[in-house]
Amino acid sequence: AQSVTQLGSHVSVSEGALVLLRCNYSSSVPPYLFWYVQYPNQGLQLLLKYTSAATLVKGINGFEAEFKKSETSFHLTKPSAHMSDAAEYFCAVSAFGNEKLTFGTGTRLTIIP
Amino acid sequence: DSGVTQTPKHLITATGQRVTLRCSPRSGDLSVYWYQQSLDQGLQFLIQYYNGEERAKGNILERFSAQQFPDLHSELNLSSLELGDSALYFCASSVGGGSSYEQYFGPGTRLTVT
């Protein structure tokens, strides 16, 4: 079985500051990891995914995430926050033979002008 | 726009009733997934279909059922509705049935049971 834990249900950063959203996973088999973003009253949009190729994954809108097996982490970062980044972010995991996505509880990102 | 469409956008109904939620996957996608998003349970996987066949089942209640038709659209049927079924229901699609394929989500159907 797979699971993810997102540390911090709410994160606030100033515009232009570094964004760091934390995700730790648990999986008995090599995982596939995803970050999704949800804007108010919208569906989920894929930001990036890790599928065992490069450990540093670049996504859309300037976001990237690094897979660290030793730390079982897949944290999401963006060097400089923009007001348009305000949204809820979900980390999710799947694995070979288990295609469903198991989501974390989400982190609401607020950008302070 | 992900290319996944869901209808209706909003649904308000009474307890005990039955509703049908519809999903059209992206062109060419064979897999359809249904998820439920609620404040207390978060985002939970319900069921997956691949090319018309049920592929995986999650925390789906017996009162809920789904199917995928030959044209690959899918319907989620919810019956004997309870207040606790109020939630956002998402459909997602992927090109194949493997775990590494990204899932593209529709805009969701917001169900309110009164």
* Distance of alpha carbon A45 from alpha carbon A87, whole angstroms: 11
| Longest CA pairwise span in chain B (Å) | 39
Nearest to B93 by CA among B18, B30, B21, B14: B30
B102 close contact with A: CB closer than 8 A: yes
- Is pLDDT above 80 for A8? yes
Type of residue at B68: Q
Q: What was the pLDDT predicted at B78?
A: 98
Q: How many CA atoms lie within 13 A of B15 on its CB side?
A: 4
pLDDT tens across A73-101, in order?
999 999 999 999 999 999 999 887 678 89
What mean pLDDT do residues A4-27 have?
96
Which residues of chain A make contact with B98, given a CB cutoff of 8 A?
96, 99
All residue ranges of chain B with pLDDT < 70 are 97, 99
Closest-approach residue (CA) in chain B for A3: B44
Is residue A110 within 8 A of residue A12, CB to CB? The reply is: yes
pLDDT, residue A91, reads 97
Cis amide linkage into residue B8, ω under 30° from 0? yes
Question: What's the pLDDT score for residue B99?
Answer: 67
**How far does A34 lie from chain B, in Å, by closest CA?**
8
Measured between CB atoms, which of B42, B55, B56 is closest to A103? B42
In this prediction, residue B59 carries a pLDDT of: 84
Question: Do B99 and A97 count as a contact with CB atoms less than 8 A apart?
Answer: yes
Question: Strands of B64-68's sheet, edge to edge?
Answer: B5-7, B19-24, B74-78, B64-68
Quick check: B10 contacting A, CB < 8 Å? no
Q: What single DSSP character describes residue B98?
A: S
Q: How far apart are CA B108 and CA A71, in angstroms?
A: 34
Q: Does A97 sit within 8 Å of B90, measured CB to CB?
A: no
> Residue A101: what pLDDT?
92
Range with the poorest average pLDDT among A48-52, A67-71, A95-99, B34-38: A95-99
Full DSSP string of B64-108:
EEEEE-TTS-EEEEE-S--GGG-EEEEEEEESSSSTTSPPEE---
Is the pLDDT score of A47 beyond 80?
Answer: yes
